[in-house]
């Protein structure tokens, strides 16, 4: 055991006893998203590094610190740290802008970020997410938020808080950035190193800082006054007002959070997070918003878009694992050939069936059946000779001997 190779730090095996809950996350996603007209897309795990540098933003922690990047054949490649940029790349490359709007896509799969592993977050982690292209109106924002809430409710998660904010458009946001920098300038030396680096490049990201000393600075009255000031232009203010009206009409409870900016450069106007109080300080289970400039920024036509992503490990940590699903039947027999033949016969008709490959003692087989199956299908010498099977209901020990051809009907009944 001294030379055993272990799983890499920040990665995790998803074991058979855990997989049923993962299947539930994926099954509910397919069902709920399909009701809203979303189609699944699967993009490569590996993309050109330039995609994330241009799309996610070279001022973000993801691009600066967290990407798994390597050189191959003189080209820089990166394991995807998020999937919005990849979906946008596919949208452009495959001419989806020619489709009737809205174009609604959803995805699931692994992402990779080099960061400190913590509760519900790994270096290889999984996300489920949606992207909607072609609609600039706040109806799209409202539907995206409602879809996220309804998906979470389908999983049994109701203790949730929706936070929203508007970052405005590039025009009105510039004045807000200027005011943020101005009021924070006297505090510059007291800011953390990351915030000092963001001060010039992306001052809005300062508001997203989780360092306690920085959070205390942002709570000062003169700084709060600027943060809470109304900087939106008339068009952005109307968009935000309508979004809130739709959410109220749809019974989506929300709170406004002026410090909510999200960690990616491509967002504009609407940003939102959905939080669970059961996850401690890192309690966001969903994050997203509008990114109207990203398609054009990556070489496509000017296309409004909105979307969100959820960390599946975090969702998993909030849910109770279902009871392991039992087999329909377990064949108990000391004739492996006959057991094998019956197993295949029943499997071909849609039942989940196993038998003892090792041909253990009859009592051991019955013991195994009681643990893994709903029915023991007993195939002794008499049953084999008469073309029958003894079916034992393991929930109540009732047993009947029936014709072999009636086994499926009896079990399904």
- Classified as helix, coil or strand, 399 is strand
The H or E element containing residue 270 is strand 268-276
Residue 59 and residue 110 share a domain: yes
Dist CA 234 CA 116 (whole Å): 42
394 in a structural domain: yes
- What would the two tokens of residue 134 be? 């072609």
Q: Number of folded domains in the chain?
A: 2
Q: pTM higher than 0.85 for the full model?
A: yes
At which of 259, 283, 318 does a domain end?
A: 318
pLDDT at 7 (0 to 100): 93
Residue 367 and residue 276 share a domain: no
197 in a structural domain: no
251 in a structural domain: yes
Residue 296 and residue 368 share a domain: no
List Cα–Cα distances, 280 to 128, 217, 273, 276, 300, in angstroms.
21, 22, 15, 8, 40
Residue 393 and residue 255 share a domain: no
N-terminal to C-terminal alpha carbon distance within the chain: 49
Residue 374 and residue 301 share a domain: no
Better-scored residue on pLDDT, 179 or 406: 406
pLDDT per residue as tens digits for the range 334-356: 999 999 999 999 999 999 999 99
Residue 400 and residue 282 share a domain: no
State the average pLDDT for the chain: 92
296: pLDDT strictly greater than 90: yes
- What are the strands of the beta sheet with 46-48, ordered from one edge? 46-48, 75-79, 68-72
Residue 257 and residue 156 share a domain: yes
Phi, then psi, of 41 in degrees rounded to 5: -130, 140
- Classified as helix, coil or strand, 230 is coil
Q: What range does the domain containing 141 cover?
A: 19-168+232-318
At which of 318, 337, 361 does a domain end?
A: 318
Would you place residue 80 in the very low, low, confident or very high pLDDT band (cuts 50, 70, 90)? very high
Residue 341 and residue 260 share a domain: no
- Name which of 51-55, 64-68, 118-122, 287-291 the model is least confident about: 118-122
The mean per-residue pLDDT over the stretch 110-139 comes to 90
Residue with tokens 């790994």: 122
At 377, which CATH number?
3.40.50.800
The mean per-residue pLDDT over the stretch 365-390 comes to 96
272 in a structural domain: yes
4 in a structural domain: no
Residue among 105, 110, 111 at smallest CA distance from 147: 105
Torsion 317-323-328-332 (CA) sign: positive
Residue 333 and residue 292 share a domain: no
Residue 61 and residue 127 share a domain: yes
211 in a structural domain: no
Would you place residue 150 in the very low, low, confident or very high pLDDT band (cuts 50, 70, 90)? very high
117: pLDDT strictly greater than 80: no
Neighbouring-strand partners of residue 305:
133
At which of 318, 340, 359 does a domain end?
A: 318
User: To the nearest whole percent, how much of the chain has pLDDT over 70?
Assistant: 96
At 58, which CATH number?
3.30.930.10
pLDDT at 58 (0 to 100): 63
Residue 337 and residue 314 share a domain: no
173 in a structural domain: no
As a whole number of angstroms, the longest Cα–Cα distance in the chain is: 93
pLDDT per residue as tens digits for the range 168-221: 998 888 888 888 889 989 989 999 988 888 888 788 888 878 888 998 898 898
Residue 77 and residue 134 share a domain: yes
- 115: CB partners within 8 A, 6+ apart: 10, 65, 66, 121, 123
217 in a structural domain: no
């Amino acid at each position: 055991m001294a030379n055993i190779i272990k799983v890499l730090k920040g990665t995790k095996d998803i074991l058979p006893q855990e997989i049923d809950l993962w299947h539930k996350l994926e099954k509910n996603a397919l069902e709920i998203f399909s009701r809203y007209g979303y189609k699944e897309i699967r993009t490569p795990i590996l993309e050109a590094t330039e995609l994330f540098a241009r799309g996610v933003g070279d001022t973000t922690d993801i691009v600066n610190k967290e990407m798994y990047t390597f050189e191959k054949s003189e080209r820089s490649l990166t394991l995807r740290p998020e999937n919005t940029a990849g979906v946008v790349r596919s949208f452009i490359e495959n001419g989806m802008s020619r489709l009737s709007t809205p174009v609604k896509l959803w995805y699931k799969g692994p992402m990779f970020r080099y960061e400190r592993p913590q509760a519900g977050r790994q270096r290889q982690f999984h996300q489920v997410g949606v992207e909607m292209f072609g609609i600039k109106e706040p109806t799209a924002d409202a539907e995206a938020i409602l879809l996220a809430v309804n998906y979470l409710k389908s999983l049994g998660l109701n203790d949730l808080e929706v936070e929203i904010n508007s970052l405005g458009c590039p025009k009105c946001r510039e004045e807000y950035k200027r005011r943020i920098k101005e009021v924070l300038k006297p505090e510059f030396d007291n800011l953390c190193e990351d915030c000092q680096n963001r001060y010039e490049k992306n001052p809005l990201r300062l508001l997203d800082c989780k360092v306690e000393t920085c959070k205390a600075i942002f709570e000062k009255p003169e700084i709060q006054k600027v943060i809470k000031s109304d900087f939106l232009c008339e068009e952005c203010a109307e968009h935000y007002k309508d979004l809130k009206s739709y959410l109220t009409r749809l019974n989506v409870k929300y709170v406004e959070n002026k410090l909510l900016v999200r960690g990616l450069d491509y967002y504009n106007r609407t940003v939102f997070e959905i939080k669970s109080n059961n996850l401690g300080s890192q309690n966001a289970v969903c994050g997203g918003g509008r990114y109207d400039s990203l398609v054009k920024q990556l070489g496509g036509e000017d296309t409004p878009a909105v979307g969100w992503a959820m960390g599946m490990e975090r969702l998993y940590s909030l849910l109770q694992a279902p009871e392991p699903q039992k087999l329909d039947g377990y064949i108990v027999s000391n004739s492996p050939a006959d057991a094998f033949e019956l197993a295949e016969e029943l499997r071909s008709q849609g039942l989940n069936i196993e038998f003892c490959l090792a041909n253990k003692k009859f009592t051991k087989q019955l013991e195994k059946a009681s643990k893994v199956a709903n029915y023991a299908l007993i195939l002794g010498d008499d049953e084999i000779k008469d073309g029958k099977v003894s079916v034992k209901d393991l929930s109540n020990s009732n047993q009947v001997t029936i014709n072999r051809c009636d086994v499926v009907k009896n079990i399904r009944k």
